Amino acid sequence: MPLDINVMPEFIPGEITFAPVIKFAYEGNLASELEAGLDRVLAIKLLEHMLHIRCFEEMIVRLRKGDFEPLKQYKFTGASHLSMGQEGVAVGCMSAIRPDDYITSTHRGHGHSIAKGAFWLDAASPEQLAEFISEAAEVDISDRPGLLDCAMQEHLNRTMAELFGKEEGYCRGRGGGMHIADFNMGHLGANAIVGGSYAIATGAAMGAQMLGTDRICVCLVGDGAANNGIAHEAMNFASMAQFERGCPVIYLIENNQYGMTGQQVGEVTGIDRLARRGAGYDHDSMHAEVVNGMDVLAVRDAVSGAAQRCRNGDGPVLLECLTYRYMGHSLSDNRETYRSKQEEAAWHAIDPITTYSQQLLETGLLSPDAIERHRKLAQERIERATLFAYNATDPNPATICEGLFADTTSDDIGDEWRTPESELLSKPEKVRRDNQGRILTRHAVAEALVEEMLRDRRVIVYGEDVADYGGAFAATKGVFEIFGRKRIFNTAISEAAIPGTGCGAAMVGMRPVVEIMYIDFILMAMDQVGNQVAKHRYMFGGKAKIPLVIRTTIGGGRGYAGQHSQSLEAVVTMIPGLKVIAPATPYDAKGLLKSAIRDDNPVVFIEHQHSYTQRGEVPEDEYTIPIGLATVAREGEDVTLVAYSYMYYRAMEAAELAAAQGLSVEVVDPRTLIPLDVDTIAASVKKTGRLVIVQQAPETGCFAEHIAFKLQECCFGDLKAPARIVAAFDVPPPMAPPLEQLNMPTPERILDGIKAVM
């Protein structure tokens, strides 16, 4: 079932033209907006929330300088990336989207977070406000203004408390100012990796659409971030022609003219406006627009239009809002080396708060006194929030590990999410067993995917060539024919966007299974896997659920050499927040993949290309295998041999060789690397008194070292000899057959290891 596309040869001369990128199209002002029906209360809120942001950040400057009298001696240690000057973007944007829409934000995101929460509260019901306020018993539910006042104070308290690293902060002080999130309000997290949120926002938008909602996601990024590789991968992903409806994501570049100090125009890019880049992604140039980011109403207008497009299925949209940060990159940057006073003065002259206040005066909405009262109220709220944060609770050191993993699964969903038969393109059949009930590991993987996709329509599968082709190793063969492109689709060759979008989609309720063809390529995805997927739960206070499976494969032994044969499991096992599974047999692959899909945590599921063609018994009846449980694959008395993934087969052969020499070997396959079942291995070592660990990876810094360490911790007194590791050499896998064969542990090399501990 190929896509209906024409790739016949065509060489017709002509010119490629691009849909125009509009700039500064907004011609309105407050008077015209009021005439067109802008709510007067909302018009004032725009000022109020810009003032909240400005006062909040002025307070950080005061704290840093010791200028806030009550806390003169307090040493504020958190990050200080201030967005003063950019308030029009944050407030214009958040006022234009719905409270239930999503955003992702940046290291300079206090404004985004304050404004997102503020407009959420402004739209909240009295019940929602009462629920939000921690001291709800003391407030009168019939007094909405009083409730809102309390809630706004609490919002600022929680924001400031997060900057102070306190338990009452939005993320329990685990994230701090650069990693603030509140999922209840649709804030999917600020990101201190420049550009890190591009794919997450894209996946969240895709997920929201797949779940049948009309929620959108705004991806707020800086101009510097627009030059990061993930920007390209994500924008291409969002623009893929195979999506029937456009991905409802708005990439909002907050162009404050500088990265840290590097200037976008004239220095670090070759273009004037970053919005031009929209032309590279789709025929509409992503509806790209350049907007005056110093004008809150212009931003509001552009984001409203973009949001409408997205809800109509006409996304993605690219907006570039031109603005300016008044302060340095952080408070340790005095700005003098790279910009002039004259330039700063020119931007100050069009300050978003001053110019908007002027319009409020001109339209008679507020008097000078009223504006001053709003400023004072904002300042008082911020001062109260600061004292609240100062007096709030320091996290208890005993809770340091709390929140890393969710302890929930989708095991109990019943039929709620079952795929209706009407959505199936063909009848799912079990893979045909041989007369011993056996199938190949790759069949077991496909069968697990089909069963879980039937059971839960939130399970989607995507990656490179996984759809009609069935995957580079045929492990997804047959899935496309049953579910079609809505549930299993090919992506571009974008290793970072694949898990990154998976993370975003998982955060909003999908359960993606994504594929990275070879584990070697995961190094191209390591920011997304290591900094985003792995950290989004803990860093945001243990609130996010990320039911994402990243399937990948190990190769080797085929002469593919350094970049297609590595065993890089230790790259992922070293990052807290990921579960890592590396099964060997068809039975384990199926049962563990099903558990991984149902787990509410990110799982890296490592398959082995040689294991794919191993045959084994797999029942047709439903079963799962708990994550974190090792198996004793062969019992023995003299030596414990620990081996996982394809090395399990080599270890079993080595055990046979050893038996022929009178040595009784117990083979333990951990199956799951994180969390590691130390108890089962320890029970075996206590019995045998000897430990050999086999692995395909090079020795230095490998996962086997971790196993050896954990076992000596609990079995030191039982060991009759030091533990031994049989591993690859500390070189990239070589191509030449004699070298490659030597490099990958053979049964004979493993036998040598066994003899050495005897």
Ligand X SMILES: Cc1ncc(C[n+]2csc(CCOP(=O)(O)OP(=O)(O)O)c2C)c(N)n1
Terminal Cα distance for the chain, rounded: 59
Report if residue 349 touches ligand X, rule: CB under 6 A. no
CB of 258 to ligand X, least distance (A): 6
Please identify which of the residues 564, 608, 610, 706 carries the catalytic annotation: 564
Q: Which amino acid is at 253?
A: I
- By 3-state DSSP, what share of the chain in percent is helix, strand and coil, each rounded to 5? 45, 15, 45
CB of 496 to ligand X, least distance (A): 12
Residue number, 293 or 670, with CB nearest to ligand X: 293
The residue from 95, 239, 256, 501 that contacts ligand X (CB under 6 A) is: 256
Residue number, 46 or 221, with CB nearest to ligand X: 221
Report if residue 88 touches ligand X, rule: CB under 6 A. no
The residue from 71, 103, 161, 192 that contacts ligand X (CB under 6 A) is: 192
- Reduced to 3 states (helix: H, G, I; strand: E, B; else coil), residue 728 is strand
502 in Cβ contact with 548 (< 8 Å): yes
The residue from 111, 165, 259, 471 that contacts ligand X (CB under 6 A) is: 259
Stretch that binds ligand X, among 52-60, 230-238, 252-260, 678-686 (CB under 6 A): 252-260
Residue number, 108 or 277, with CB nearest to ligand X: 108
CA distance 347 to 330: 19
CB of 234 to ligand X, least distance (A): 14
CB of 109 to ligand X, least distance (A): 9
Report if residue 194 touches ligand X, rule: CB under 6 A. yes
The residue from 60, 93, 114, 193 that contacts ligand X (CB under 6 A) is: 193
Neighbours of 126 (CB within 10 A): 16
Residue number, 256 or 573, with CB nearest to ligand X: 256
Helix (H) or strand (E) holding 522, with range, is none
Residue number, 195 or 670, with CB nearest to ligand X: 195
Tokens 């909602």 correspond to 213
The residue from 50, 71, 216, 225 that contacts ligand X (CB under 6 A) is: 225
CB of 293 to ligand X, least distance (A): 12
Tokens 């270890």 correspond to 651
CA distance 698 to 704: 10
Q: Are strands 615-617 and 438-440 parallel, antiparallel or unpaired?
A: antiparallel
Report the residue number whose CB is nearest to ligand X.
222
Report if residue 260 touches ligand X, rule: CB under 6 A. yes
CB of 88 to ligand X, least distance (A): 14
CA distance 417 to 597: 14
Instruction: Return the half-sphere exposure (C-beta side, CA atoms, 13 A cut-off) of residue 216.
Output: 32
CB of 8 to ligand X, least distance (A): 42
CB of 254 to ligand X, least distance (A): 6
Among residues 531, 604, 517, 527, the alpha carbon closest in space to that of 566 is found at 517
Residue number, 105 or 476, with CB nearest to ligand X: 105
CB of 274 to ligand X, least distance (A): 10
Stretch that binds ligand X, among 192-200, 376-384, 450-458, 508-516 (CB under 6 A): 192-200
Residue number, 223 or 588, with CB nearest to ligand X: 223
**How many amino acids of this chain bind ligand X (CB under 6 A)?**
15
Which residues on adjacent β-strands are paired with residue 385? none
Stretch that binds ligand X, among 36-44, 190-198, 394-402, 629-637 (CB under 6 A): 190-198
Residue number, 256 or 501, with CB nearest to ligand X: 256
The residue from 203, 207, 224, 305 that contacts ligand X (CB under 6 A) is: 224
CA distance 164 to 181: 15
Instruction: List helix spans (H) across 220-292.
Output: 229-238
349 sits in the region (left: phi over 0; alpha: psi -120 to 50; else beta) called alpha
Stretch that binds ligand X, among 123-131, 218-226, 458-466, 495-503 (CB under 6 A): 218-226
Catalytic-residue membership of 564: yes
CA distance 325 to 332: 14
263 in Cβ contact with 338 (< 8 Å): yes
49 in Cβ contact with 119 (< 8 Å): yes
Instruction: List helix spans (H) across 80-190.
Output: 87-96, 110-123, 126-132, 144-163
181 in Cβ contact with 188 (< 8 Å): yes
Site for ligand X in 89-118 (CB under 6 A): 106-108
CB of 395 to ligand X, least distance (A): 24
CA distances for 261 relative to 141, 220, 403, 418, angstroms: 49, 19, 36, 52
Stretch that binds ligand X, among 63-71, 258-266, 316-324, 439-447 (CB under 6 A): 258-266
CA distances for 352 relative to 62, 119, 411, angstroms: 22, 18, 51
The residue from 102, 258, 405, 703 that contacts ligand X (CB under 6 A) is: 258
Site for ligand X in 416-445 (CB under 6 A): none
Residue number, 199 or 704, with CB nearest to ligand X: 199
Tokens 């053979």 correspond to 746
CB of 701 to ligand X, least distance (A): 24
CA distance 212 to 204: 13
351 in Cβ contact with 27 (< 8 Å): no
Residue number, 257 or 304, with CB nearest to ligand X: 257
645 in Cβ contact with 582 (< 8 Å): yes
Stretch that binds ligand X, among 116-124, 125-133, 137-145, 187-195 (CB under 6 A): 187-195
Residue number, 84 or 247, with CB nearest to ligand X: 84
DSSP codes joined into one string, 567-584? --HHHHHTSTT-EEE---
Stretch that binds ligand X, among 95-103, 133-141, 188-196, 654-662 (CB under 6 A): 188-196
The residue from 222, 555, 583, 586 that contacts ligand X (CB under 6 A) is: 222
CA distance 562 to 450: 33
By CB under 6 A, name the binding residues for ligand X. Answer: 106-108, 192-194, 222-225, 256, 258-260, 329
- Which residues form the catalytic set? 564
